[in-house]
Amino acid sequence: LLDRSGGRYRLGAWLAELGARVPAHRSLRVAAAPYLEELTHLTHETAVLALPGHGEILFGEIYVGSRGRGQVVTLVDGRVPLHCGASGKVVLAFGPPELLAHTVDGGLAPRTRRTITDPGRLAAELTRVREQGYAVDRQELVEGYGAVAAPVWVGGEVIAALTVVAPISRLDVAAFSAAVRRTAGELSRRMGAA
């Protein structure tokens, strides 16, 4: 279950395999694969399937676009707070109000100097996300990188976010938002029909 290195422990390969067998996430990950690949072709950047859970976001699948080859593009491992990036802001904007309240009550700790840490500013940002249908991260999670994300819906509930991540110098919000909204909409229709 665990791997030990010196005095430190980390999750073992068996637990990772067990997690991959969870039917809901596995079927979503399999269904999302062609849409992630399409996003990388449309944007030439990295496409991510972000999964919400336990008040955080997990980057479930990462497809590296042609411009990202050889680079660590997300620079994030494991789970990240909902308020820090585009994927989490999508989940907060379209999720139940109690999720936002729980997130704010837990404190809006900064990941970078650009992370939104003021509850009023976060509320205004989430209103903008709901109006636009997508969220933008401009170096709020990782310095030097930005992202654009759109929700994946099933039965009126946001179950994931499709996200494009790029160095801030290549963050083309207009192009990326059109691509993620269309692709997330297509994945939502597929998941709803399954």
Give the number of other CB atoms < 10 A from CB of residue 35.
23
Q: In this predicted model, which residue has the larger pLDDT, 12 or 34?
A: 34
**Band (54; pLDDT cuts 50, 70, 90):** confident
Q: Look at the alpha carbons of 156, 178, 84, 52 in this order and tell me if their dihedral is positive or negative.
A: positive
Tell me the Cα Rg of the chain.
16
d(CA 1, CA 12): 5
pLDDT digit string, tens, across residues 158-178: 999 999 999 999 999 999 999
List Cβ neighbours of 49 (8 Å cut-off, separation of 6 or more): 28, 29, 32, 36, 59, 60, 61, 62, 160, 161, 162, 163
Which pLDDT belongs to residue 21? 42
For residue 19, pLDDT beyond 80: no
For residue 124, pLDDT beyond 60: yes
Region 85-92: mean pLDDT is 97
For residue 88, pLDDT beyond 60: yes
d(CA 54, CA 65): 29
Q: Say what the pTM is.
A: 0.83
Region 169-190: mean pLDDT is 97
For residue 182, pLDDT beyond 70: yes
Q: In this predicted model, which residue has the larger pLDDT, 92 or 2?
A: 92
pLDDT digit string, tens, across residues 126-137: 999 999 999 999
Q: Using a pLDDT cut of 90, give the percent of the chain over it.
A: 69
Q: Which helix (H) or strand (E) holds 150?
A: strand 145-154
